[in-house]
Chain A
Amino acid sequence: MSTRLATGGRLLNKSTSVKFRFNGKYMRGYEGDTLASALLANDQMLVGRSFKYHRPRGIVAAGPEEPNGLVNLGEGSDFEPNARVTTTELFDGLRAESQNHWPSLEFDVGAINKHLSRFLPAGFYYKMFIHPRPLWKHVYEPIIRHSAGLGRAPKTRDEDTYEHFYAFCDVLVIGGGVAGLEAARASALSGARVIVMEQTAHWGGRTPVDGGDINGMPAQDWIDATLAELGAMENVTLRTRTMGAGVYDHGYVLGYERLTDHNPEAQGPRHRLWRVRAGHIITATGAIERPLSFAGNDIPGVMLAASVRDYVVNYGVSAGDRTVVVTNNDDAYLTAIALKEAGLDVPAILDARVLPEDSAAMARAKELGIRVLMGHGVSSVKGGKRVTSVAVCSQAGEGSVLEEIACDAVAMSGGWSPVVHLWSHCGGKLMWDTANACFSPDPDQPPKGADGGQFVSTAGAASGVFQLDDGLNDAFAAADGTLRCLGRKLPRDAKASQGSRNDEAPMAPVWLMPQGASVKLREKAWLDYQNDVKVSDVRLAAQEGFVSVEHAKRYTTLGMATDQGKLSNINGLATLANALGEDIPSVGTTTFRPPYHPISMAVIGGEARDAAFQPIRRTPMHDWHASNGAEFEPVGQWRRPYAYVKSGESTHDAVMREVTNTREKMGLLDASTLGKLIVKGPDAGWFLDMLYTNMMSTLKVGKCRYGLMCNDNGFLIDDGVVARIDEDTWLCHTTTGGAESIHAHMEEWLQTEWWDKKVYVANVTEQYAQIAVVGPNARNALEKLGGMDVSKEALGFMEWADGVIGGFNVRVYRISFSGELSYEIAVDAGQGQAFWDALMAVGADLGAMPYGTECLHILRAEKGFIMIGDETDGTVIPQDLNLHWALSKKKEDYLGKRAHQRSHMADPDRWKLVGLETTDGSTLPDGAYAVGEGNNANGQRNMIGRVTSSYHSPTLGKGIAMGLVHNGPDRMGEVLEFPGTDGKTYSARIVDPVFYDKEGAKQNV
């Protein structure tokens, strides 16, 4: 069993006991424990079930590489799935539940899958669920969704807060082990601004566990002294519990700081996202131990050797009473020695190597009385939910069992792989290190920055340098090189810290144990614990032709679990290479992508939630709308009133009332959001002729003209009324959403194509409040307010004039988007509310009511006016909307003119705008498609048109719609069928799109 030892535990505060709950069971740990060490201390080795076969899974590692120990943490608003037990610090009251099992962790029905494992090979989903196709949606997918997935999604709102933090530095050191500290120390001596990030709560990394001296003192003393030195320097920032998550272009780095995870009662944000721009980055991210591939290597109790050592030294926890060590290198001997020194039993060390003489570590192990079997390995591990014994074989053979050793834990080591993720994120290349059988950073192919120079360096084990003395020298050299890149220098008297050295025997690569393992053994040799990928799966993928490592990864799902292949990657590659008969470097690695280790979604959002999610634009009359029943809808970043709902009314009722009232009496619309662009200069007329499809240079001062704008691909992008203000000034109205984009569009052409033209454009949208006064009583109201002459004779349809109304300086446009008598009146933004109030007051006797955007839409649809974004979608040209009249024939050129001559655009056989009227008066579903004769190649009904706008018209008392229909205008009177998503089929007749006052008699009065 795993248990707490009487001694040891350098990271524990044994005077503070901590109570927590796992699967409803109360347990105790100490302050300083991780959830993993506390679970092991309570003999809870079993922590989850695997993804596919629901195999029992135990803790394997002690750091972020842990593949199995994922739990649901907390509950309610604190709930978080997939928390890793090895990176979760224990706190009083912690509640955790294991994942991916049903009905319980101990007894799981899904484990039956293991008996089906012969039928669940690599690519199983692809092979099995493709036929018959109709079964996918209703049978396969629901079952797979039910059984797949690890943690649950949280159901309630996260009440914690998160923040972003911007930082700049010359040197960012990622990793606070001895190499990181040495690199930081050396860098800081130059005066450079240095930030050091360490992902755990402790400095020094593995060295205090592994032992060794630095500058003649025990490593921990050197760590303490160096921290004190760095802490005293003003140019140095030290952060623990902060992981370097990703390295991005030009020295941009994301750091992930976990501020209160270990102390949920604390005030302040839970996580902080560091957004760092660094001159140079040193990754001192250490190395990760590799598992060995032998049968039963996934049985709970089989752990990484160095992790077993970590639990003993750091937490005073033993993984088992009797631990068999199996290795291909010297490092695992340190585990055997540590276990023995802690009074635990190590019945044997199985060393796959055959060596001519003993190294220091081997000699020490033998001195302690440990039996060492060279050239031996594991044939298979026995046990179910816990290891019971190990069958020993000769590594060179095929797995014949020589003896069986009873034990309750296995500590395995397949060698070490440098953590190269951060080096690789931005294009740093790797090279194969034959001596250590690992990929390490290739210093000749580093990530390149804005100036083409190197901007990431590695230090210590992350460089593939595993001895303490070499690691410190490497770190010092990394700092030296970094400073050179930055044009800085180390002080002349700066010296590298000197580490001690262990004489080690070389490791020997072992990718399968025993090397000739039979199919039966390979089927039980796990590569990816979380995703259940075995040696046999990768070999099958190779056999089936998945020769590219990226394809084999996706086919088998190797390395695609939440640990992203930290343990499985190299073993998987080696297995693939072996199956293909190639060497590992030529097979290559999969791509390393950020983040290194999962970070919370909430921290990416940071403060951007609720009101701070995005800025909201409000018109000068916004507050009045809000206090008069407005239901708002977002239009770009604006909030516009959708309708003003009175008590007792539904939203639909309100819209219908607003339409009828505006048609019969008078309506007020806040039109301030419409874009207003001033285009001015000697060449402004020429410029607008190029931008609009119709002629704007001939527009007379005092007149307005409706215009269309296309891009040079010919597609309609905006529309609006243009007014000529004076000889060289035009005011262009754009759609609400188009103000910024059309302004940018104008600037683009002026700056990048016609830079010799003298034109100036200003976006004055927010300078004015604009109110549409609409309806038969509109003129009456303005006359009652008094001031300028607004009669038909003085101010005709499509004219504008400056003047004074009711004491306000106004610019009045006689334009109509409703078909009614209409004045759009602009006042200075600061006068908007006062003018609105004056209009409401004077209109009280005339039936004045405000109306919202939905009423506006119905009014324009009744008139057959198009709306950009409804009738257009980026693929529609003016000809499709029967707007040929707005395409100038006189102009030699305008944007889109040549494109309209391209064969597909000029094709008469296009979908064109028509009106649609349901045969039973109902309202067509917006976006519905009309179906024609026959089926397409996919067996779907052929489509011949679609609804672009659809409303119930209170004026006509029925549903009206506009749509684009194949050769629509030639098919007047034809009835089309529109299947709805509600299962009903709607019938509608093709009619003229102008439903109301076709002659325009009502607006031209």
Chain B
Amino acid sequence: MLIVSCPNCGITAEETEFHAHGEAHITRHAVGSSDDQMETYLFMRKNPKGVHFERWRHQYGCGKWFHMARCTMTLEVFGTYSAQTYSPPDDLLARIDARRPGWREAT
């Protein structure tokens, strides 16, 4: 059971207080998009063995959404950050670079 820190309310708590909702930074495609774009949006996920950016919600706490960068293999948590962003913050990416050299090529 993971330990998760909510960047919205600052609480660090057991995983049971949170809910994971899959891959982060998915672009929504809507009316006017191609079938391929729709397929990518609705179904295609990276499912990496390694660094993964995820959407989480502090379900039984403040109720807010946030993002988490995590290693799916070792369960190391690189950091959590705001849900209101299109990409992970630079300092977090730098931390992941240091912990997992070469991870960008792998994903």
Write the residues of chain A forming the contact surface with B, with a CB cutoff of 8 angstroms: 248-252, 277, 427, 448-452, 712-713, 744, 747-748, 751-753, 755, 892-893, 897-899, 901-903
Contacts and interface: CB of A to CB of B under 8 A. Distances in A.
A747 B65 contact: yes
B42 to A, nearest CB: 6
Nearest to A252: B1
Given A712-B28, A752-B65, A898 B74 contact: no
Interface residues of B, number: 30
Contacts of A451: 76-77
A249 B75 CA distance: 7
A501 to B, nearest CB: 38
Nearest to A166: B14
Contacts of B65: 747-748, 751-752
A892 B31 contact: yes
Contact of B55 (A249, A450, A752, A899): A752
A250 B57 contact: no
Nearest to B55: A752
B83 A250 contact: no
Interface of B: 1-3, 14-15, 21, 28-33, 35, 38, 41-42, 55, 57, 59, 63-65, 71, 74-77, 83-84, 99
Given A250-B1, A747-B65, A751-B65, A450 B76 contact: yes
A250 B15 CA distance: 10
Contacts of B63: 747
Contacts of B75: 249-250, 448-450
Contacts of B83: 751-752, 755
Given A250-B1, A452-B99, A755 B84 contact: yes
Contacts of B74: 427, 448, 452
Contacts of B77: 450-451
22 contacts: A249-B15, A249-B75, A250-B1, A252-B14, A277-B3, A277-B14, A427-B74, A448-B75, A448-B76, A449-B75, A450-B75, A450-B76, A712-B28, A748-B65, A752-B55, A752-B83, A752-B84, A755-B83, A893-B30, A897-B31, A898-B30, A898-B32
Contacts of B71: 452
A755 B71 CA distance: 27
Nearest to A447: B74
Nearest to B59: A744
A926 to B, nearest CB: 31
A250 B29 CA distance: 37
A145 to B, nearest CB: 36
Given A748-B57, A755-B84, 11 more contacts: A249-B75, A250-B1, A250-B75, A251-B3, A277-B3, A277-B14, A452-B74, A753-B28, A893-B30, A898-B33, A902-B35
Nearest to B35: A902
Contacts, number: 70
Contacts of B1: 248-250, 252
Contacts of A898: 29-33, 38
Contacts of A744: 57, 59
A753 B29 CA distance: 12
A567 to B, nearest CB: 31
A899 B77 CA distance: 35
Contact of A902 (B3, B14, B38, B99): B38
Contacts of B29: 898
Nearest to A427: B74
Contacts of B32: 898
A786 to B, nearest CB: 42
B53 to A, nearest CB: 13
What 4 pairs between A and B have smallest CB-CB spacing? A452-B76, A448-B74, A755-B84, A751-B65
B64 A751 contact: yes
Contacts of A892: 31
Contacts of A899: 38, 42
B84 A897 contact: no
A188 to B, nearest CB: 24
A903 B39 CA distance: 12
A901 B85 CA distance: 29
Contacts of B84: 751-752, 755
Contact of B30 (A448, A748, A897, A902): A897
A752 B56 CA distance: 10
Given A899-B38, A902-B38, A450 B57 contact: no
Nearest to B64: A751
A657 to B, nearest CB: 42
A921 to B, nearest CB: 45
A897 B83 CA distance: 25
A344 to B, nearest CB: 50
A748 B71 CA distance: 24
Contacts of B38: 898-899, 902
A451 B15 CA distance: 15
A248 B71 CA distance: 16
B31 A893 contact: yes
A741 to B, nearest CB: 11
A903 B35 CA distance: 9
A744 B3 CA distance: 22
A452 B100 CA distance: 11
A414 B33 CA distance: 67
Nearest to B21: A748
Contacts of A712: 28, 41-42
A902 B41 CA distance: 13
B76 A249 contact: no
A898 B30 CA distance: 5
Contacts of A449: 75-76
Nearest to B75: A249
Contacts of A452: 71, 74, 76, 99
B3 A250 contact: yes
Nearest to A251: B3
Contacts of B28: 712, 753
B2 A250 contact: yes
B75 to A, nearest CB: 5
B31 A249 contact: no
B52 to A, nearest CB: 14
Contacts of B3: 250-251, 277, 450
B17 to A, nearest CB: 13
A277 B14 CA distance: 9
Contacts of A901: 31
Contacts of B30: 893, 897-898
A10 B55 CA distance: 58
A250, A449, A748, A902 pick with most chain B CB within 10 angstroms: A250
Nearest to B28: A753
Contacts of A248: 1
Nearest to B99: A452
A717 to B, nearest CB: 15
A989 to B, nearest CB: 38
Contact of B2 (A450, A748, A753): A450
Contacts of A902: 35, 38
A483 to B, nearest CB: 20
A712 B15 CA distance: 27
A752 B76 CA distance: 24
Nearest to B24: A752
A136 B42 CA distance: 42
B31 to A, nearest CB: 5
A713 B76 contact: no
A901 B29 CA distance: 13
A788 B99 CA distance: 69
Nearest to B67: A752
Contacts of A751: 64-65, 83-84
Contacts of A897: 30-31
Contacts of A753: 28
A451 B3 CA distance: 10
A893 B28 CA distance: 12
Contact of A249 (B2, B41, B42, B99): B2
Nearest to A895: B30
B3 to A, nearest CB: 5
A751 B84 CA distance: 7
A703 B3 CA distance: 47
